[in-house]
A = this chain, B = another copy of it.
Amino acid sequence: MINALRFSLLLLGVSFSQGFLNDLFDEEEQAERVVQPSKYGSLWPLPQKVQLSEVSFKLNGVSFKISDAKESTAGSSCSLLQDAYRRYYEYMFGSFKRQEGRKSRHAGPSDLTELQVWITSSESDCDSFPSVASDESYELTVDQPYAVLKAPKVWGALHGLETFSQLVYEDENGAKSINSTTISDFPRFAHRGILLDSSRHFLPIKVLLANLQTMAMNKFNVFHWHIVDDPSFPYLSRTFPQLSQQGAYHPYTHVYTPADVKMVIEFGRLRGIRVIPEFDTPGHTQSWGKGQKDLLTPCYSGSKLSGTFGPVNPILNTTYDFMSQFFKEVSTVFPDAYIHLGGDEVDFSCWKSNPDIQKFMKQQGFGQDFTKLESFYIQKLLDIVATTQKGYMIWQEVFDNGVKLKADTVVHVWIGGGANDEMAKVTGAGYTTILSAPWYLDYISYAQDWQKYYKVEPLNFNGTDEQKKLVIGGEACLWGEYVDATNLTPRLWPRASAVAERLWSAKEVTDINDAFNRLSVHRCRMVERGIPAEPLFSSYCPREYRGV
């Protein structure tokens, strides 16, 4: 019979252990599908190079500190780092309070009392915004007399702090411990994103911030904010306030004010996360029409106006005047170098019904090919946005329709069938691309679907090495039809964590059993940090979620 006390200790041990308990346990427990210790502990996503030793040190919340290395180019004046030190101290020690004066009295010979953070580049990026070109690498050495985290830029330091915190575990007596470790790490892909949709359901700021926090725990670095769409327009525009006044679910309680947006962006920046807004046109714009007269195409039923509206009206000059002003504002509000311009799923039926549109089609010689009209609109829009000095991302249809794109355009592949062919085509045409097709997390199903997301290989398409280099990453998309503040977070995590590892770790990291073991503990760590990340399978966390 299995010794149940040992069984309990096993689970506790696993939950925050380094994984050196492996040999203590036999196959019986395996049969019970209990989480097994991974040799990589609970590291998630797995770093590129990890050397773990069995030498362990104690971490004492009273004496432990995270400090700037003397040689660091970002010191106490770098609030991004100081903020991160506080955050990770709290993640590791909770409500313990560090007491400077008592340090020497409490530190024993096997204690690790300090983590020194050393930014090595002359430009630390402390006060910058992250970009697709940001250096996110870091090197972490955990050893006495102190641990050292070296990174060229603050972005790597942020990731290294997360990794350091993931190395901390509780020994059998509940004492915080860490093993002597050397890690050298950098992301496989530069663009690792989460798409959230705040139009189909309004997502309170609190929800967005909680998910930015969780993204940082998973080394995601892009928040793709699908901020408006058909159902509602919660973005409060200074230039066109009537857009949200009329188009939001509610003009006061269901909008993002300029201050809200600023907060989201800064909250992301402090965690190395870019905020890329999507203002999708010419389709998906029903809510725009409520506050902007004549922006949408009036549809006809036979020879009469039907009273309904279609996509943005591409034949009026006023449309382009509006877009110029609107995107001028957007380009200043959002500091990222890229804006996502959408361009997906344009329904032609309303355009077809409208005699003015038909006339315009004739004048332009488009025949009955409405993709040409769509491209006409998009082309003008891209040219407008190009004048704001921003780069743009677009959904794959824009590329498919042959629109002339700037060289730095990012094409976003999302259509499930034939995604590999599409990746080959887009990169074959020389465009950078990101992949979302296999990672539509709004589609839910019974059991462990994270494994499906985990098994995706983004470069598994026919193409040259040059083409593959054009794939800069991917995004997990959580569309909002069935998701709001009540269920978003447990639905997203840890399912998106599977995508996080795929986009960060080396291509060879594909052991699904090891992933299960690490991810199980990683998810309990998210729970312990207050994030209601759902379970992978029957199991428990030492400290269960405290919300309801």
Contacts and interface: CB of A to CB of B under 8 A. Distances in A.
Interface string A442-457: 1111110000000000
A522 interface: no
A42 interface: no
Q: Which of A2, A309, A530 has the most CB of B within 10 A?
A: A2
A66 B150 CA distance: 67
Interface of A: 1-2, 4-5, 7-8, 11-12, 28, 31-32, 200-202, 204, 206-207, 210, 230-232, 245-251, 253-254, 286, 289-291, 293, 296, 307-309, 442-447, 480-487, 489-491, 527, 530-540, 542-548
Given A200-B538, A483-B534, 15 more contacts: A4-B246, A4-B247, A7-B290, A8-B246, A11-B249, A204-B544, A206-B546, A210-B548, A232-B540, A254-B544, A444-B445, A444-B446, A484-B535, A487-B491, A547-B547
Nearest to A290: B4
B290 A487 contact: no
B12 A532 contact: no
A540 B201 contact: yes
A248 B4 CA distance: 9
A537 B491 CA distance: 15
Contacts of A245: 4
Given A31-B308, A487-B532, A538 B446 contact: no
A445 to B, nearest CB: 6
A28 B298 CA distance: 13
A289 B250 contact: no
A202 to B, nearest CB: 6
B482 A535 contact: yes
Contact of A538 (B231, B291, B533): B231
Interface centre among A201, A293, A486, A547 (most CB of B within 10 A): A486
Q: Is the interface of A mostly helix, strand, loop or mixed?
A: loop
Number of copies: 2
B4 A482 contact: no
A157 B136 CA distance: 63
Nearest to A447: B482
21 contacts: A1-B290, A1-B309, A8-B246, A12-B250, A28-B307, A31-B308, A200-B538, A201-B538, A206-B548, A231-B538, A443-B446, A444-B444, A446-B482, A481-B538, A482-B534, A482-B535, A486-B534, A486-B545, A487-B534, A530-B548, A532-B548
B289 A1 contact: yes
A303 B30 CA distance: 23
State the 4 A-B residue pairs at the shortest beta-carbon distance, nearest first. A4-B246, A4-B290, A486-B532, A487-B490
A5 B246 contact: yes
Given A4-B247, A246-B5, A249-B11, A481 B537 contact: yes
Contacts of A4: 245-247, 290-291
Given A7-B290, A307-B28, A547-B548, A486 B490 contact: yes
A231 B486 contact: no
Nearest to A9: B250
Contact of A527 (B231, B446, B486): B486
A29 to B, nearest CB: 11
A542 B307 contact: no
B206 A540 contact: no
Nearest to A26: B307
Contacts of A206: 546, 548
Contacts of A250: 8, 11-12, 540, 542
B251 A535 contact: no
Contacts of A230: 32
A288 to B, nearest CB: 10
Given A254-B540, A486-B490, A545-B486, A290 B535 contact: no
B253 A489 contact: no
Given A200-B538, A540-B254, A8 B487 contact: no
- Which residue among A5, A535, A546 has the maximum number of chain B CB atoms within 10 Å of its CB? A535
Contacts of A547: 485, 547-548
A2 B308 CA distance: 8
Contacts of A532: 485-487, 548
Contacts of A540: 201-202, 232, 249-250, 254, 484
Contacts of A543: 253
Nearest to A485: B545
Nearest to A8: B250
Task: Identify which of A308, A442, A537, A548 gathers the most chain B CB atoms within 10 Å of its CB.
Answer: A548
A327 B233 CA distance: 59
Contacts of A531: 548
